[in-house]
A and B are shown apart, each in its own frame.
Chain A
């Protein structure tokens, strides 16, 4: 056996020389695939598609220039945002692959990779990468933005706000102002949020890239909506549509406003929003709009799409959809718990809280709801959920919270709004 051990050591030492060959082969294949993804045609004719084609042409002519692959990657990110198709982030990631193969330490390529990780919900990996980049280049605002986004998604709001502040200090522009505004909104500072969104709108007038401005306009309109100002919100959504026609988040906003006013145009807006962005959230809105118009069959079909699309990749929306409608309580909780393992932001905690409530686990629901409400976000749905959970626990303060939710925005959703009103009335009767 002594011989055996000696020979083992010798053979292990010799074997190390063989390993890199396989790695190199796999790496070469991966590089070919990355280039194929990066240089894939879009088959569409929007402005961003022309930008992608031009960037691809430049990258093909000078394939060793890292900057050209980064430009192409950013164009793919624009495409992903405009088309609301997360698959285009895979093309952007492929550009980061090619760039990092040429220059492994390139901070722009690392920023691009971190952005892709964020959109793939790989938050801890995105955080690690963004931290590495900020340590190497403390003056990189994009890295600070990525870090802030990753931390916020993981529920580390204070750290996220600090990173966003650094970003604003380094470069006060649309992305940094928009983040600052969002933090104000989460903290319940509506006036501050509106002021920062105003700065962001003023800073974002790039005609070549209208989507970020349209997005900020929608976020601003959402603040108005959540404050019960349907007219103000509707005007904001119109401005977003003027910046970018058929922009799904703006169409969805207009559908919500129309639905609240019992306006028959809600179905049309919701359908256009779903066609532009066939996601679970949009299908839910379409279902609500069809149900309100008396189209029960159409609503059923749209709700089936929520389940289909939710199962394919949007667990949080599917969970809150089921919990809101008080269906599939156990499955909804399983989805919410799974989501809460990787995300810890206010909306994920609220989703978990409501799923726990539907499963009659009121103490656990209260704990999750407290986390969701910790920063004082003025969102009617969050407030209603927090209030209902308190009422279920016998806490009288819950009734006031539900009342505040109704006062803020009685049409926060088609099921939750009427349910909240019923709960307050029932509670009032009981206390008399």
Chain B
């Protein structure tokens, strides 16, 4: 796992090296939060500095910021807007007391580099003055129930995911094909949610979000094409094949909510289980009544084919707009 993460970090850096600008006197920013015996660090710096910092060589964040007596691990490395890179790292410490930190990246980058550290108190660090401290903070690790609720809330408020599911339901009134499609989606998003939660790989939001939008548009287009060709049953039965890769993309979208909690690595399995359970409960709570309702309307003959076409076209429109906005 460690080797895979190192390879992925190296890949991100190699990919970004071509777009990095010439080295200039730089400013990096860091936010440091204490949670129990874990220190969560979010450090943003210029992409051009990635090679100097030799990030590609290790998954250990201590070459950038060392926390005294604690073992660190880079959880993710994500490109940000404005030519930056954001590193998220967790440091596991032997106790939950205050710790001393050393922003070594300042000395490494030298040449007048400054690091703005927000660690309860604010610090402006420069070469030769790289040490600061972080007091112990209250434990904010959420309970399992809260994680389940968070998962439910995430799916209920994530209208893009709901729209995707709605698009799938429109063409899948039969229980078997619907079950297969939803299962494929669930398995796929669980895989990528896990990958992201464990920090194995998190593609940038600038890729994931437009891809989610495209998945919505695609479902709408497929619906319209099936309706026009009068092949609804065949398309619905084979739909799980395309739902699986789209589910992988949506899983990365779900992971953003989990990441915002700033979980320590030790808490990830529990958080993943609770959050994913919440997502599935929330998903079923929407899918089951909606599927039953649609089935009832279809059987009663009150739903004209034109209405499904219109709804599918609307889904295409929303997907396209979301794609344009998110790119």
Residues of A within 8 A of B (CB): 1-8, 11-12, 15, 33, 36-37, 40, 43, 85-91, 119-122, 308-309, 311-315, 338, 342
Contact = CB atoms under 8 A, between A and B. Distances in A.
Contact of A88 (B109, B112, B316): B112
Given A12-B324, A90-B27, A121-B24, A312 B314 contact: no
Contacts of B120: none
Given A12-B324, A313-B110, A3 B314 contact: yes
Interface string B85-101: 00000000000000000
A382 to B, nearest CB: 24
B114 A37 contact: yes
Contact of B122 (A5, A36, A121): A36
Most chain A C-beta atoms within 10 Å of own C-beta, residue among B112, B313, B325: B112
Nearest to B321: A11
B310 interface: yes
Contact of B25 (A4, A40, A87): A87
A342 B22 contact: yes
B259 interface: no
A136 B122 CA distance: 38
B111 interface: yes
Nearest to B313: A3
A5 B317 contact: yes
B80 to A, nearest CB: 11
A87 B126 contact: yes
Contacts of A90: 25, 27, 112, 114
A312 B52 contact: yes
Contacts of B38: none
B25 A313 contact: yes
B316 A15 contact: no
Contacts of B22: 121, 315, 338, 342
Nearest to A11: B321
A309 B314 contact: no
A49 to B, nearest CB: 14
A342 B129 CA distance: 32
B24 A15 contact: no
A315 B48 CA distance: 14
The 8 residue pairs across chains A and B that have the minimum distance between CB atoms: A87-B112, A7-B317, A313-B111, A40-B124, A86-B112, A3-B313, A4-B317, A11-B321
B174 interface: no
B325 A15 contact: yes
A1 B314 CA distance: 9
Given A36-B122, A91-B114, 20 more contacts: A3-B310, A3-B313, A4-B220, A4-B314, A7-B317, A8-B317, A12-B321, A12-B325, A36-B116, A36-B124, A37-B27, A86-B25, A87-B25, A87-B127, A120-B24, A121-B24, A312-B109, A312-B110, A312-B111, A313-B24
Q: Is the interface of A mostly helix, strand, loop or mixed?
A: helix
B308 interface: no
Contacts of A3: 310, 313-314, 317
A202 to B, nearest CB: 32
Contacts of B52: 311-312
Contact count band on B = 20 to 34
B310 A309 contact: no
5 contacts: A3-B313, A4-B314, A8-B321, A11-B318, A309-B111
B318 A122 contact: no
B73 interface: no
Nearest to A341: B22
Contacts of A311: 52
Contacts of B220: 4
Contacts of A40: 124
Nearest to A16: B325
A313 B46 CA distance: 14
Contacts of B29: 33
B65 interface: no
A338 B24 CA distance: 13
B265 interface: no
B22 to A, nearest CB: 7
A11 B326 CA distance: 13
Contacts of A338: 22
A393 to B, nearest CB: 32
A94 B302 CA distance: 65
Contacts of B316: 1, 4
B24 A7 contact: no
Contacts of B129: 43
B111 A7 contact: no
Interface string B205-234: 000000000000000100010000000000
Nearest to A342: B22
A4 B313 contact: yes
A308 B126 CA distance: 17
B218 to A, nearest CB: 13
B137 to A, nearest CB: 20
B112 A85 contact: yes
Contacts of A87: 25, 111-114, 126-127
Nearest to B49: A312
A342 B22 CA distance: 10
B235 interface: no
Nearest to A33: B116
Interface string B277-297: 000000000000000000000
B23 interface: yes
B24 A122 contact: yes
A342 B318 CA distance: 44
A11 B317 contact: yes
A212 B112 CA distance: 21
Contacts of B109: 312
A3 B315 CA distance: 10
B191 interface: no
Contacts of B224: 1
Contacts of A342: 22
B224 to A, nearest CB: 7
B313 A8 contact: no
A313 B22 CA distance: 9
B20 interface: no
B16 interface: no
B116 A86 contact: no
Contacts of B318: 7, 11
B273 interface: no
Interface in B164-185: none
Given A87-B126, A89-B25, A122-B24, A37 B317 contact: no
B220 to A, nearest CB: 7
A53 to B, nearest CB: 14
